[in-house]
Structure 1
């Protein structure tokens, strides 16, 4: 195999490893799995999210309880990923579409609202000891909306297996998440 082909295969493998970590991040958020979330960052990594700016491990410890306390359910999808490799470092932009049912505090009238949003992540990734993890992540909010929540778990919806926000989620039994 030529050197050029070997380099391209290595680059594709690196891009795929970063993509897999991006998916693990979203799965960790949706399953409220703090250990999986931590595994996507280097311990000395950082996040700039506005609601939390600081060390990535501190963010992980803060974010999962925040989600559990404020969001009744949530679902996210990663798409439109651009990765630029530079040796054992990479820059990436990924688009994320999310939706959550948020409990409003009493001072805001109580109740539940549906909150879809579209945002982007700007990341710096580093490969250390053969593993790609985020060194920094910045959230850029492009749009959001909110309206009264009207979800249902009745009728036909009662027949579906539902996602869970812990390790009892079907993805763990399938072996997709560990």
Structure 2
């Protein structure tokens, strides 16, 4: 394999990994647990400090229950660093995460975190093999309900699940496993 071909394979691997970590955000925020589960190898594990440590099937149950506490979430991938070694890779993914609770006394929790990920490629497809989450900062504030009425000229609000505008406006999204 020539240097140019090796460079192109490295670029392709990094792009596939970037797509994997952004698919995680979409799956969580849209509550698409079928998509979320498809991103993990069966023997993968998740570590979220004292909140959760375990395999992907238990993690799906944990995430579904945890997300039921929130009217909306948004997980933004900000920076990514990947190191690729053949069919294995590691990554440090910086994220800003937004969580809004339900009800008239709703509050917003906004965090900056990093996922320290391990990946494996099987059959040309990259998936999570292990993820450890570290929290860098957090803030909590009361929801300003009027801000949601005044912003973006009446754009429809994002929603968890298949009623989100993305499922109607984008025909290629939502097609998976």
**Fold-level similarity (TM above 0.5):** yes
1:163 equivalent in alignment to 2:162? no
Equivalent residues of 1:34, 1:61 under 8 A apart: no
Q: 1:177 aligns with which of 165, 174, 177?
A: 174
Aligned equivalent of 1:17: 16
TM-score, normalised with respect to structure 2: 0.89
Q: Which residue of 2 aligns with 1:38?
A: 37
Q: How does 1:1-150 map to 2 (within 5 A)?
A: 3-50=2-49, 51-68=51-68, 70-103=69-102, 111-150=105-144
Q: Structure 1: which 5+ runs fail to align? A: 105-109
CA distance in 2, matches of 1:161, 1:112: 19
In the alignment, the residues of structure 1 paired with residue 151 and residue 13 of structure 2 have an alpha-carbon distance, to the nearest angstrom, of: 42
Deviation at 1:61, TM superposition (A): 2.4
SS of 2:159's equivalent in the other structure is: coil
Question: 1:64, CA displacement in angstroms?
Answer: 2.0
Return 5+ residue gaps in structure 2 as ranges: none
Give the TM-score normalised by structure 1. 0.89
Cα distance in 2, alignment partners of residues 156 and 149 from structure 1: 14
Distance, in Å, in 2 between the alignment partners of 1:148 and 1:163 is 19
Per mean C-alpha deviation after superposition, the further-off stretch among 110-119 and 73-82 is 110-119
Give, in angstroms, the shift of residue 103 of structure 1: 4.6
Contact 1:112 1:148 in 2 (8 A): yes
1:94–1:122: 8 Å Cα contact kept in structure 2?
A: yes
C-alpha deviation, 1:129, in angstroms? 1.5
Residue by residue, what CA displacement relative to the aligned partner does 1:109-131 show, whole Å, maximum 9, x if unpaired?
x9321111000000000001211
Aligned-residue offset at 1:79: 1.5
Cα offset for 1:141?
0.3
Q: How many residues align?
A: 171
Change over 3 Å in CA distance of 1:9–1:144 after alignment to 2: same
